[in-house]
Amino acid sequence: MAKKTPAPAGTPALRALTEAGIAVTAHEYDHDPAEKNFGLEAAGKLNLDPDRVFKTLVASVDGTLTVAVVPVSGMLDLKALAHAVGGKKAELADTGLAERKTGYIVGGISPIGQKTPLRTVIDEEAQLYDTVFVSGGRRGLDIELAPADLASVTDATFAPIAKER
């Protein structure tokens, strides 16, 4: 784990990271309310490779809510997600349900510090980078951290769950 100064508390994600002793770098940007592709917006405004910026999606796998963390440059492979958790069928969860269970709004759902901790799977491609970017818990805030730290704080596993656009 990194031994830098933890990011200041603010969102539940930042507080959870601080409590876990995981140092991150917070990156804020001006979110455009008209923008609906939140991950690509973050990559563009932060001048980042979209392969290093990951989106958080909530899916239902055989009726159990599961979080998938995949690069914004690709798409979630629902069959692969189901397979990764030993399930048969996965579908994206209703956005209202995802918001209620995570405590975040769509476009700001972080895999970290969720109201109801959900089983989490991170696309294995994250391990190719020293650091990756995920939502910090609100639109206009991404956090940068090591993939191993992301997996540790979310009790996640890595699996091939993304596919090309």
Give per-residue pLDDT as tens, 20-65.
999 899 999 999 988 889 999 999 999 999 999 999 999 999 999 9
Report the pLDDT averaged over residues 79-107: 96
Portion of the chain with pLDDT greater than 70, in percent: 95
Q: Are 115 and 101 in contact (CB under 8 A)?
A: yes
Domain boundaries, the chain: 39-163
Query: Which pTM value belongs to this model?
Result: 0.92
- The domain 39-163 is placed in CATH, from the list 3.90.960.10, 1.20.1250.20, 3.20.20.30, 3.40.640.10, at 3.90.960.10
For the sheet with 141-145, list strands across it: 25-28, 141-145, 132-138
CA angle 25, 125, 16 (to 5 degrees): 35
Place of tokens 């704080």: 153
pLDDT at 142: 96
Residue in 119, 116, 111 with CA at minimum distance from that of residue 147: 111
Band the pLDDT of 144: cuts 50, 70, 90.
Answer: very high
**Any bridge partners for residue 61, and if so which?**
64, 90
Tokens of 120: 């989490």
Work out the mean pLDDT of the chain and round it to a whole number.
92
Residue 140 has pLDDT above 80, yes or no: yes
Per-residue model confidence (pLDDT) at position 91: 97
Report residue 164's pLDDT band, with 50, 70 and 90 as the boundaries.
confident
Which of 126, 113, 157 shows the shortest CA–CA distance to 7?
113
Q: 71: part of which helix (H) or strand (E)?
A: strand 64-71
Please state the rounded mean pLDDT for residues 103-129: 96
Averaged pLDDT for residues 59-73: 97
